[in-house]
Structure 1
Amino acid sequence: MIALLALTLTVSAATPVLTLDEALAAARQNNLDLKVARARLEQSRLLSNRAWAGYLPTVSVAGTYTRQREITLPLPGPTGEPTPVVVTPGDQFGAQAEVRQAIIAPSLWPAIRNAGIAEDVAELNTDNMRREILFAVAQAYFGAASYQEAIRATQFLLDVNKAREADTQKRFDAGTVTKVALLRSQLDRARAEQDLVRARNAFASSRLALATLIQRDADFTLELPPVPQVPSQQEDLEKQALEQRPDVAAARRNLDLALGQKQAVWFSYAPSVGFSGVYRLSSVSSVFAPANTWALTLSAQWVLWDGGLREINLREQSARVAEATAQQKQAEARAVEEVSRARLEFENAQANLTKAEEALGLARETQRLTEISFKAGVATYLEVADANSALTGAEVGAISERLQTSLAALRLLRSAGAFAAQE
Structure 2
Amino acid sequence: MEGTSLRIVTSLFVSLLLWGAAQAEEGYSVDPVPQVEELIKSYKPLPPRLEKQGPLLTLSDCLNRARENHPSVAASWARVLQSQASLQQIWALYYPTATLTLQEDVDQNLASPNSVKTLSLLLGVEQTANATLAVSQTLFDGGERREKVEAARQNLRSAYLTFENDWITQAQSVQSAYLNVVEQETMVVVKLLDLDRVKANRDSAQRFLEAGTKSLVDVTQAEIQVAQAEASLANQRNLVKSAWIQLAQSMACAVDDIKDCKTEELLKFQVQLPTLNEAMAELETHPQYLLYKAGELANEASARAERKSMRPSFGVNTSLKAYDKYGVEANTWEVLFTLTIPLYDPTVGPQIDLYKAKVLEAQENAKNTRLQLIQEVESAFASSVGAQERAEASFKQAKTALLNYDLALKRYRAGIADYTELLNALSFVSTAQSSYITALADERTAEINLLKATGAAARFTKEYFARKATEYDLIRDLQEDLKSQSQEP
Indicate if the aligned counterparts of 1:158 and 1:192 stay in contact, CA closer than 8 A: yes
Q: Classify the secondary structure of the residue corresponding to 1:231.
A: coil
Which of 245, 270, 283 is the matching residue for 1:208? 245
1:62 equivalent to 2:101? Answer: yes
SS of the aligned residue for 1:332 comes to: helix
Q: Match for 2:175: what amino acid?
A: A
- Kindly state the Cα deviation for residue 279 of structure 1 after the two structures are TM-superposed: 2.5
Judge conservation of contact 1:107–1:268 (CA < 8 Å) in 2. yes
Kindly tell me the number of residue pairs found equivalent between the two proteins. 403
Measured in 2, the distance between the counterparts of 1:276 and 1:69 equals: 29
Matches within 5 A, 1:220-235: 220-225=261-266, 226-232=269-275, 234-235=276-277
CA RMSD of superposed structures (Å): 2.5
**3-state SS in 2 of match to 1:419:** helix
Residue 346 (structure 2) pairs with residue 316 (structure 1)? no
Q: What's the offset of the Cα at 1:58? A: 0.9
Distance in 2, matches of 1:41 and 1:87, equals 59
Match of 2:428 in 1: 390
Matches within 5 A, 1:16-415: 16-65=55-104, 70-71=108-109, 86-89=124-127, 93-105=129-141, 106-214=143-251, 215-216=253-254, 217-218=257-258, 219-225=260-266, 226-232=269-275, 234-242=276-284, 244-284=285-325, 291-306=330-345, 308-415=346-453
Instruction: State TM-score, norm by structure 1.
Output: 0.88
User: For the structure 1 residues 41 and 50, does the alpha-carbon distance in structure 2 shift closer, same or farther, using more than 3 Å as the test?
Assistant: same
Moved more, 137-146 or 398-407: 398-407
SS at match of 1:182: helix
Asked if the contact 2:101/2:131 (under 8 Å) is kept, the reply is: yes
Distance 1:5 1:230 in 2: 22
| 8 A contact 2:147–2:305 mirrored in 1 | yes
Q: Is the 8 A contact 2:45 2:398 kept in 1?
A: no
Asked if the contact 1:72/1:87 (under 8 Å) is kept, the reply is no
> Residues 49, 299 of structure 1: CA spacing in aligned structure 2 closer, same or farther, 3 A cutoff?
same
Rounded to whole Å, the distance in 2 between the matches of 1:212 and 1:240 is 30
Asked whether the equivalents of residues 8 and 152 of structure 1 are also in contact (C-alpha less than 8 Å), the reply is yes
Amino acid at match of 1:228: V
Contact 1:7 1:156 in 2 (8 A): no
> Structure 1: which 5+ residue stretches go unaligned?
74-83
How far apart are residue 381 of structure 1 and its match? 2.0
1:64 shift after superposition? 3.1
Structure 1 residues 193-202 or 165-174, which shifts more? 165-174
Over 3 Å counting, the alpha-carbon distance change for 1:56 and 1:193 in structure 2 is: same
Offset from partner CA, 1:106-144 (integer Å, 9 cap, x none)? 321200111111111111110111121111111111111
CA distance in structure 2 between the partners assigned to 1:182 and 1:114 by the alignment: 79
Aligned to 1:79: none
Deviates more, 1:218-227 or 1:277-286: 277-286
- Residue 258 of structure 1 contacts residue 324 of structure 1 at CA under 8 Å; is this kept in 2? no
- Structure 2 spans left out of the alignment, 5+ residues: 1-42, 112-121, 462-489
Partners of 1:7 and 1:380 lie apart in 2 by: 30
Taking only the aligned residue pairs, the percentage that are identical comes to 23
State the shift of 1:49 in Å: 0.9
Higher helix share: 2
The 2-side partners of 1:282 and 1:222 are apart by 78
